[in-house]
Amino acid sequence: MMLLSLLTPCSAAQDTQSETLVYESPSLFEQLEARGEIFIDRSDRPARRDSPLPVFVVHKRDDDNDGNVVTTTVSVPSGSAAAISPPPPPDSAPTTPPSLSDTIATDTNANLAPTLVSTSVSPSVTVVTTPLPSPFDTSLGQNFTSSTCPSFFSTFLSNSTFQSCVPVSLLLQNSNSFFRAMRSATLLTQTLDAACSAPLALCAPLMSSLASQLVSSSACGDDFKDQVATVTQAYAGLTAYEPLYRATCLRDAATDGYCFTEAVTNATTQSDSYPYYTALGLAMPNATTGGGSSGPDCTQCLRDTMKIFAGYAQDVNQPLSKTYLGCATQIDDTCGSGFADVNVKVGSVDKAESQKNGVASTREVSTLAPAVVTAVAILHMVLSTL
């Protein structure tokens, strides 16, 4: 009669004893055979060796050789000690790749396999390019008297040389995009960077020539006589290009920021920006009226701006010849006597007439630098295309 012997371990310790007894004591089988008993091993089956195991990729630097990163794969089976094995050769691939959740990459400089997950996050930089503001970027309207006037506007507004000048004098009153830019110090500074990098020796004569063409009978002369707002504002902006170029490009010596940007973005004193609009022929609001608004802050930026405007107010063709004294008087009353020059002889010089007659005005040098001569030559070529 044959007896059936069942060994059922109850714990990990018994498993270990059973394995030791079975695999390290060959005499047991001889005894069972002599008694006619059959031995059945009821312990848990060992794990499959081809099943995926947690894999840890450890990188260490090879200090002995060339300093390159050396990769070592560490496989950790459940319930056993960590076993370290070298990485497989490049031409061999495991039949079952490790899952992404069980793989950790601890070196971001190594060329890891696509199945590995890196714990590093590379920063990304998004560059947003904002178009520069442009004048008359909404509708020109239908109030023109002559049909040649809208055509003239379209021609000079689309001219690439005109656009590269970024005329702030035309943007102040007639640009929706510039109005939005003035809400942001960053966008406004970017606009001024472009405007102030434009060559004054080229852009100022261009704007002066366009102003003369604008009021001619072949362009918008009739509309200018009828005081069509679009035409009169365009003429003021073209004429005041140079004084506003110099004023808006002034920088605060203390902050190195643009004085105009600081004035426009000053939420405490909104009247800081008012003097700039006087260059376009707009009167300075009275500090004692208009809801009790105070005058502009008495800063060095304001003092320097008024010095610029004082020089151009002498030209009868500049809008400042009609608005400067009123602005200077208010500022002088607020900031103290002598802060702004109130003794300027406004409108005493006809700069345009002097240029026509070839006579240098009191604000021009007697000789032109070679760079200016070159700019004038380029200007003639540009005007011939308009």
Helix segments in 57-183, DSSP class H: 148-157, 160-165, 168-174, 176-181
pLDDT for 98: 46
Element spanning 31, H or E: helix 27-35
pLDDT band at 343 (very low <50, low <70, confident <90, very high): very high
pTM of the model: 0.61
Could you tell me which of 164, 241, 207, 202 has the C-alpha nearest to residue 376?
Answer: 202
Helices and strands counted in the chain (H then E): 17, 6
What contacts 252, CB < 8 A, 6 or more positions away? 258, 259, 262, 299, 300, 301
Contact 164, 158 (CB under 8 A): no
pLDDT for 182: 94
pLDDT for 367: 38
Average pLDDT, the chain: 74
Report which DSSP code applies to 83: E
Could you tell me the two tokens for 297? Answer: 């802050």
Residue range 325-335: mean pLDDT, rounded:
94
Q: Regarding beta strands 37-41 and 3-7, do their DSSP bridges make them parallel or antiparallel, or are they unpaired?
A: parallel
Q: Which residues pair with 56 in a beta bridge?
A: 74, 104
Q: What is the pLDDT of residues 218-277, one digit of tens each?
A: 999 999 999 999 999 999 999 999 999 999 999 999 999 999 999 999 988 889 999 999
pLDDT at 5 over 80: no
Q: Coil, strand or helix: which one is 135?
A: coil
Q: Which residues pair with 1 in a beta bridge?
A: none
Q: Regarding beta strands 55-61 and 69-75, do their DSSP bridges make them parallel or antiparallel, or are they unpaired?
A: antiparallel
Contact 301, 263 (CB under 8 A): yes
Could you tell me the two tokens for 219? Answer: 């362009």
Q: Coil, strand or helix: which one is 384?
A: coil
pLDDT at 341 over 70: yes
- Which of 182-186, 269-273, 327-331 comes out lowest in average pLDDT? 269-273
pLDDT at 148 over 80: yes
CA distance 325 to 338: 13
Residue range 54-80: mean pLDDT, rounded:
47
Residue range 147-170: mean pLDDT, rounded:
95
Answer with the residue of higher pLDDT: 370 or 281. 281
Contact 275, 267 (CB under 8 A): no
pLDDT at 128 over 70: no
pLDDT for 140: 81
CA distance 73 to 93: 14
Q: What is the pLDDT of residues 185-227, one digit of tens each?
A: 999 999 999 999 999 999 999 999 999 999 999 999 999 999 9
CA distance 200 to 352: 17
How many residues can be counted in the chain?
386
The angle formed by the CA atoms of residues 285, 291 and 292, to the nearest 5 degrees, is: 80
CA within 13 Å, CB half, 45: 3
CA distance 333 to 202: 38
Look up residue 162 and give its amino acid. F
CA distance 260 to 242: 15
CA distance 15 to 99: 31
Report which DSSP code applies to 358: T
pLDDT for 43: 63
The sign of the CA dihedral 207, 210, 215, 221 is: negative
Residue range 317-332: mean pLDDT, rounded:
96
Could you tell me the two tokens for 37? Answer: 């008993």
